[in-house]
Structure 1
């Protein structure tokens, strides 16, 4: 069966639709929530074109020369522009990334340079995780899937052609079975491991197989069918782009409409309106540079966000960044992709492989040099170190389901010869405060006991979805505190944001604990909320400090007050209702009359997204200690 390998301008137009959808999704996810499905359209196009090329070559050349030429062309097509972007990204990382981020970038560059980016990201993150949104090479996962597809499909196809005597209908039947089986497999994986269904090649093979199947089917010669299939294909793709949510559920069967729609559009046909539309010069020209557009758009957006407190750009800025993406893509297409295609396959492949190995070498040096920490200005280095500025007692004193010693064996902070009169009870938001109070207590011959448990607020009958031992621990903790006459004061803390889904159970159980402690005559100090962020504060602040000598990250005071209005109202009600209850506001060290500052005296006040750094905890403890131990405020005031 002989097929002419003619140029299809409508396929370039479909490439344009695919890449523009991906770009729009990354910049304006709420406008085009299913735009990421543009990658699936690319898979179908790739499966179609590669299979058509292999079948055409098989009719004129032998297996060995066919395989050599195929891999040579694939290397020439993929690697020159890819290595350019990897190199540019590593260079940009030198100026914008803190050492830990730079090490992560170098690792992803090593994998991406050898066609295994999807495996790296499968092992290290999820595509829709917030952390993943700041990985400059995340988008190379799709190249890894394609390159792994190229490893086995040519040999399998040639074997099928040989065994069937080039009877295309038999090969097509095999592919149809593979599509159905592959779709069933990825649907199963999507329910068990959505990340695997997203990143791994065997979960995506059915999409490439759909394109391969279309390449083996006879062209659509009926004009009415051609028009109908084209319209249906456009409707399916449009429905996916505008209706499919961009989250972990976007795998398996949910991708079938976009894949089927793309297949209907690449299926060779008689002339149609959809084909004419996709072949329009503007779309066709964008399609020609679609590969470079895909490579450049993501690191440009990510580096902008890294330099701007992880915020998405405003519309005008976004358009400027997209304009830069187009400019670099045109230059890349003209001065890298096109010239390399004019070289011989062997020479291009040799140069590309050498460049890929050099990239791997450079990335390895970055790892061995620990991300070159000397690059950071002193201010940025201090801020970056905030990521490790947490209580060093966490591993041995902070409880989890796997580490839950008896309450009598709880860690004691302060003077080890003193009997604890204060207990810190709560989730991880109490850890650093307790540690900092212990430092003050040690200098005054006092002690306190640490009764903290991960993701476990001091609330009775609370079923923590993250720690199954929470409920039993809280029951024992309350009995212990009520019956222990040595402990006269209890400090209670919770990450109020974490329990919004179990709101009623949380507040009811928390109040039960407060009421019982108050009834037992204990002094109770409840720590109120403090500002939190949805990014790693030390790393973000350090990135800003790399390009700004006076880094600032602030939250408007009115926004903070509004966010926790209900929390503070409930706590104020308890203060009036229960004797001995004091509500302590830890945010007073951060907030003035206008804003809450998350960088104070060059230090990050959070060690991550929500936990106080020890730097901030010491400032909170200094104020809290004045109320805990009021007889020696002069000594406390002299402490740092």
Structure 2
């Protein structure tokens, strides 16, 4: 049978054609196709394997096209006409640097995605990535790879050593940091305090370990006091104005303005991503909004702030500190808006006030707990994930930034009493913690941001290395503290991506 196959195959080829084993017959389609058709197939394959694939969303069809293109390219090289096409100087150059290009391109893509907090890069960024990849691949080929090819190990090892040492220096050299920042803001209206001369403090470098640090400064110099005075005075004056840079929000118009319902703190931003995000709460949600926006970066399609001062974000809750405020219409309209929006992620951030943090007699009959559970149930039905942030240590009786600055005027500066006692914080918040702990919510991620500042003795209210307060003029955490909150939000977002909850 095999001889018959060989004989039949031999009858199909000319006398001068090379004799080929039958097993290779299916792969010789380029030998029988016209030369122009082979070249077109090859060009299409090169196109599919080029950096153009960076601009196409990643999906199963694209993967199949890429693999098919690679196979086509390999098979097409059997054709002499295609081989002639591949000996051009440009393609030979790409072949020379191909291994370096293979090594360089992915770290550059990861770096750009990291700095932009994005899973997909914009077209212009992708072009920059492609150009940088070719540049680094060429430099690597001309310097490192050729040194090894020529067996000039000494020069190559010296170069690698220098690059390694420079990497260590760049990783450890202190970077300048902005204490305050507002994206798209007018520089004349936004406070920017830079800590160049002080360098980055332990809080800025690793705020997750900050609570293990002594809350008292090791030393206080006149220069520290002067810089801290300037920074803290600005913290007293600054209040973020998100609405100023917000886009028109059709859902706020529909659920609030058309019905005459007041909403004091709102913002709406759109971007090039694919996630929808809602931030729901009172003024503490408003204060955290910029950190959440920065944590998502370009991943969001839309992000919306829905907040009113004082009102806890649970239907049926009241704000007794200002009896004139009626939270009911705002809370009902907010949940209706979220139900229509159907966000991928909903943040719930608030500072509690009586009666929501009042003592619990019987949890099963507790109205405040029922309000929380009812609201969480409604939001859970329309969102993929709820980020429930537990309350932070604050003191409505003592604004800590003015209190800290009062100590700067003392002849012998002592900051031992500039702190919040953990027992006082826990006694005030333990009932709301218990209510939140008992809420049934399979879609909830609970985050305990108070642990950034508190051990079981005290809660820190300023950075002891530069004397910068964590508060504004009142009880809200300022933008210096929010730099750490941004890291917390970023981690919880990455975790949900890794678990496949969002993406």
Q: TM-score, normalised by structure 2?
A: 0.44
Whichever structure has more helix as a proportion of its residues is 1
Q: TM-score, normalised by structure 1?
A: 0.35
